[in-house]
Amino acid sequence: MFFSLLDVVALGCFIFSWVGYTYFAKHKAKSTDCISRCLHMHRIHWMNSVINRQVRIADAALMANVERNNAFFASSTLLVLAGILTLFAQVSRLEEVIASVPYATGATDALIQVKLGVVVGIFVMAFFHFTWAMRQYGFLNVMLGAAPFGSTEKNEHLFAYGRQMATVSDQAAHSYNYGLRSYYFSMAALCWFWNPFALIIASLLVVYTLYRREFKSRAVKAITLAQKHLESEAKSRGIDFIK
């Protein structure tokens, strides 16, 4: 067996950290103010505002900007994959480089190939997330183009249509977020080439960083406060975003 017990433990910690945090963040967002929860409310407000105005040039420009970000990461992921796949032909040289790094654990060619395979799998997953986000934003553009003009305050069907547009936008944003999360954890996976202990520490650091940014950052506090102002303003007009 070219896997040591420590390698197995480190890989298990890596997978548990990624899957565990994804599950935690998804369910925590249902009851706690965070970027995902608050931005969903902003999207509902945005899409209902779109229906209330005839001129939607600014909205189309914003959507194009969001799609551009996804396209950038999708194309960048392909370049990263091409670079990693090239390393499979240089495994022996890579083994020598790793052996020259202080405190690096020894690794066979087979183990290095497994590690490269894990990194390839991460970026393949990221590519699928980014491209799916691009497709969903494309769906949203169609819905935006088909959106009728009217007052969502007086027409429940228009309000429901705006909410469905916000739902599609929210799902696209989740896919984009999953793609970015893959990039974060790929940084932790790179530490495995150096030392299994480094993979464990890096995995925990990534989880801590993601939690701080998605639940405890200043941006979250500002977005949450802005969301509450939006809800108060909407309720004053008899609109309930939560229903």
Q: Divide the 243 residues of the chain into consecutive groups of 10 and give the mean pLDDT of each group.
A: 80 94 90 85 87 84 88 93 89 81 77 91 96 94 87 79 91 94 94 90 95 90 84 68 54
Per-residue pLDDT tens over the stretch 57-83: 888 888 888 888 899 999 999 999 999
- Taking each helix axis from N to C end, the angle separating 156-190 and 57-87, rounded to the nearest 10 degrees, works out to 20
**Residue 102 pLDDT:** 80
**Residue 209 pLDDT:** 94
Per-residue pLDDT tens over the stretch 143-154: 988 888 877 777
**Residue 63 pLDDT:** 87
Residue 117: phi and psi, rounded to 5, are -65, -40
Can you give the three-state secondary structure of the chain, one letter per residue? CCCCHHHHHHHHHHHHHHHHHHHHHHHHCCCCCCHHHHHHHHHHHHHHHHHHCCCCHHHHHHHHHHHHHHHHHHHHHHHHHHHHHHHHHHHHHHHHHHHCCCCCCCCCHHHHHHHHHHHHHHHHHHHHHHHHHHHHHHHHHHHHHHCCCCCCCCCHHHHHHHHHHHHHHHHHHHHHHHHHHHHHHHHHHHHHHCCHHHHHHHHHHHHHHHHHHHHHCHHHHHHHHHHHHHHHHHHHCCCCCCC
**Residue 89 pLDDT:** 85
What is the rounded end-to-end Cα distance, in angstroms, of the chain?
Answer: 56
Q: Which two tokens stand for residue 133?
A: 């986000």
Q: CB-based burial of residue 178 (10 Å sphere; 0-12 exposed, 13-18 middle, 19+ buried)?
A: middle
Instruction: Determine contact, residues 220/34, Cβ cutoff 8 Å.
Output: yes
